[in-house]
A and B are shown apart, each in its own frame.
Chain A
Amino acid sequence: MDYGLKPLGREKFWLWAMLTPTLIGLVFGALGSVIATIVLSFAKWDLLTSPTWAGLENYIDLFKDPKILLSLTNTVKFSALYVPGVVIISLLIAVLLNRKIRGLSLFRTAYFLPAVTSAVATALVWQMIYGRDTGILNFILARMGMQAVCWLCTGTAMYSVVIVNIWGAIGEGMIIFLAGLTAIPREYYEAAELDGANGTNQFFRITVPLITPSIFFMTLITTINAFQAYDYIYILTRRSQGDSSVPVMVFSIYRNAWNFFNYGGASAQAIELTVIVATLMAFYFWLERRYVVYE
């Protein structure tokens, strides 16, 4: 609180003028939305007829409606595969790229490409690649003498979709880990070298502890992204009437609101999503205090 310029005279006006858009966003955009969604979650409203009070009905549905329960288990399954996948693979790539190799910028560009481009556009190619009779993946499998796989059928689609989502996310993770790795002072490794520590030892005793802040940060944002995963899933698994072969929570919220006009139910689901993510974040910060090493 003690750093900073003191606004003089009329500057106070300009200060609050500059903050006004953000304040509007905070009060109406964020706080207002949260309150409105909470209120809506106790109502039944299709926006055509007038809203009626629903009490706890929408919340009871969260635990009883098999469709909503399925979307919850799908989201949990998806996250359990996606988060470790993204964190581990992007850390591995960053460690490899950090080994003073040739063509670093070329590799970096290649790995970053999916993170730049629209998920909708790239998911369309993946749909072709995954094609059952016409796709290149099954063509390669056949060449190797293996059975064709129905990549986007119920059951397997979950894994196929996770693969594409990981493919789209490791570019960003790689950059974050690379930044963390280059920040580790070289002297640590030189000292370890003198003491005769081998590569494996150096990795687990120096690299891993000192990269924990980046691992923490990546796990945090990847978890948030996991609960928001939508675009690839929408393009790859969409069926008629807004259904999907891998209906995750975000999918289910959209469908409930904009296909079935059940805005109250969708609001309850949105609140459920918020509570789950917030609980996870709290758990992560508790872990951070115990295990993350800050220099």
Chain B
Amino acid sequence: MTRQNQKLLLDSITYTLLILGAVLMVGPFLWMISTSFKLPGDQFTKTLIPPTFTLDNFRELFSVNLNFPLLFWNSAYISILITVGQLLTCAMAAFCFAVVRFKGRNILFTGLLLTMLIPPQVTLIPNFIIFKYLHLIGSSVPLWLPAFWGGAFGTFLLRQYFLTIPRDLVDAARVDGASLIQIFWKIYLPLGKPALAALAIFTFQGAWNDLLHPLVYMPSVPNTMLTVGLAFFQQQMTHGGKFTVLMSGALISILPLLLVFFFAQKQFIEGIAFSGVKR
């Protein structure tokens, strides 16, 4: 086989595999979209294009005993609060670990990294007991409050990025008499924007998609998050339900993240690549 032919063969194998894989990855999403526009009577038809196109499922979503707008609002403000808390506290800690010299820095940082090994279940049980005694189960406080205690992943990610910012900038600012806070505020926060954006996206995504924590802390509909609401809705559906309505709910629940992803794809992908390479 000539080199030319060999390349052609390899290329066709590559494209065939990639396209086949892409269909498997996107297929379920197309199925979700398709089903959510089908009539309930057509819910099990095997065509991708709805036989009859309808918007009724979305209308019905707002009439079922689920209070979909409330679920959406809860998911939104809880996720935003968690994101704000993480950005604020992780950025402050990351700056200290990356820039400032102080006693116990290495021990503290190692300790923080070790907490990444603790499974969420270990913190979940005592936290639940404490929040139960504070009568906060059923409210959103247990979900967002711990986000204001910093976090190992966010601090680590930001610290690694802060370390790549040239030290000359700090030294020059110091000569000009800048204080620690000014250096943080005027140099590291503006220059750290790409990493902050990546962390914001990760945190928001994690909070929005989380099932376990809202299931424990806000277990009952209607006042809970979208994930728990959908799971509850699914259970109702199994008794002679309309999958078309369920799919329209699922579709609406993933829309915000799809929007974030399409507008901030670069930060998303570079953030993951960064966290994987710079260890």
Assuming the contacts A33-B127, A47-B132, A117-B254, asked whether A234 and B231 have C-beta atoms less than 8 A apart, the reply is: yes
Q: Are B247 and A125 in contact (CB under 8 A)?
A: yes
B150 located at the interface, meaning its Cβ lies under 8 Å from any Cβ of chain A in the complex: yes
Q: Are A274 and B118 in contact (CB under 8 A)?
A: yes
Q: How far is the CA of A112 from the CA of B260 in the complex (A)?
A: 13
CB interface residues, A 20-54, toward B, < 8 Å? 21-26, 28-30, 32-34, 36-37, 40, 47
Q: Are A5 and B25 in contact (CB under 8 A)?
A: no
Q: Which residue among A3, A29, A40, A139 has the maximum number of chain B CB atoms within 10 Å of its CB?
A: A29
CB nearest to A38 among chain B residues: B122
Partner of A18, one of B96, B105, B129: B96
A71 located at the interface, meaning its Cβ lies under 8 Å from any Cβ of chain B in the complex: no
Chain A contacts for B174, CB-based, 8 A: 5
Q: How far is the CA of A183 from the CA of B22 in the complex (A)?
A: 25
CB interface residues, B 1-39, toward A, < 8 Å? 10-11, 14-15, 17-18, 21-22, 24-26, 28-29, 31-32, 35
Assuming the contacts A32-B126, A110-B26, asked whether A228 and B211 have C-beta atoms less than 8 A apart, the reply is: no
Q: Are B22 and A134 in contact (CB under 8 A)?
A: no
B102 located at the interface, meaning its Cβ lies under 8 Å from any Cβ of chain A in the complex: yes
Q: How far is the CA of A118 from the CA of B184 in the complex (A)?
A: 34
Chain A contacts for B32, CB-based, 8 A: 121-122, 124-125
CB nearest to B29 among chain A residues: A113
Partner of A124, one of B17, B155, B205, B250: B250
Q: Are B150 and A228 in contact (CB under 8 A)?
A: no
Q: Are A116 and B261 in contact (CB under 8 A)?
A: yes
Q: Which residue among A8, A107, A139 has the maximum number of chain B CB atoms within 10 Å of its CB?
A: A107
Q: Are A101 and B102 in contact (CB under 8 A)?
A: no
CB nearest to B109 among chain A residues: A22
Chain A contacts for B11, CB-based, 8 A: 99, 101
A50 to chain B, nearest CB (A): 13
Chain A, interface residues (CB within 8 Å), range: 35 or more
Partner of B126, one of A8, A36, A176: A36
Residues of A in contact with B (beta carbons under 8 Å apart): 1-8, 11-12, 14-15, 18-19, 21-26, 28-30, 32-34, 36-37, 40, 47, 93, 96-97, 99, 101, 105, 107-114, 116-122, 124-129, 131, 134, 136, 139, 167, 171-172, 175-176, 178-180, 183, 199, 213-214, 217-218, 227-228, 230-231, 234-235, 238, 250, 253-254, 257-258, 263, 266-267, 269-271, 273-274, 277-278, 281
Considering the complex of A and B, which 5 residue pairs feature the smallest CB-CB distances, nearest first? A25-B149, A4-B101, A179-B273, A176-B276, A22-B150
Known: A11-B181, A126-B28. 5 other contacts (CB 8 A): A21-B93, A29-B149, A34-B122, A93-B21, A125-B29
Residues of B in contact with A (beta carbons under 8 Å apart): 10-11, 14-15, 17-18, 21-22, 24-26, 28-29, 31-32, 35, 44, 46, 88-90, 92-93, 95-96, 99-102, 105-106, 108, 111-112, 115, 117-129, 132, 146, 148-151, 155, 167, 170, 174, 179-181, 183-184, 205, 208-209, 211-212, 215-216, 219, 226-227, 230-231, 234-235, 243, 246-247, 250-251, 253-254, 257-258, 261, 265, 268-269, 272-274, 276-277, 279
